[in-house]
């Protein structure tokens, strides 16, 4: 979970750095939103599993994270649309290193 979270943060920082350099970051922003939100979903699910019954109880924050995570994969442009953006940018740029 920590490894995935770190990877999500690094991808997001990479997109932010590219934007700071004045470059268009349609693909980079799409990748970071897609990866970070899917990671949030997976981490929240794992956290519920770790907490067992308590993961379902409102006494613990983890229950709230598990309810909030699905919004991240739908809100601010669904992840299906992010995938379309990434694919069209890959074609336009001739691949990752284009």
Ligand X SMILES: Cc1cc2nc3c(=O)[nH]c(=O)nc-3n(C[C@H](O)[C@H](O)[C@H](O)COP(=O)(O)OP(=O)(O)OC[C@H]3O[C@@H](n4cnc5c(N)ncnc54)[C@H](O)[C@@H]3O)c2cc1C
- The answer for 52, left when phi > 0, alpha when psi is -120 to 50, beta otherwise, is left
Q: Which stretch binds ligand X (CB under 6 A): 17-25, 33-41, 55-63, 70-78?
A: 70-78
Cβ 27 vs Cβ 93: under 8 Å: yes
23 CB-near residues (< 8 Å, 6+ apart): none
- Applying CB under 6 A, the span of 2-10, 16-24, 72-80, 88-96 interacting with ligand X comes to 72-80
Binding of residue 80 to ligand X (CB under 6 A): yes
Binding track, positions 3-42, relative to ligand X; x by CB under 6 A: ----------------------------------------
């Amino acid at each position: 979970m920590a490894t995935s979270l770190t990877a999500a943060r690094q991808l997001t920082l990479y997109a932010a750095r590219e934007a700071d350099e004045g470059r268009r970051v349609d693909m980079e922003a799409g990748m970071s939103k897609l990866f970070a939100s899917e990671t949030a979903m997976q981490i929240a699910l794992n956290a519920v599993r770790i907490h067992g019954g308590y993961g379902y109880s409102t006494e613990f924050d983890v229950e709230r994270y598990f309810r909030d995570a699905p919004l991240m994969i739908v809100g601010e442009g669904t992840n299906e649309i992010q995938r379309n953006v990434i694919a069209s940018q890959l074609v336009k740029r001739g691949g990752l290193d284009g």
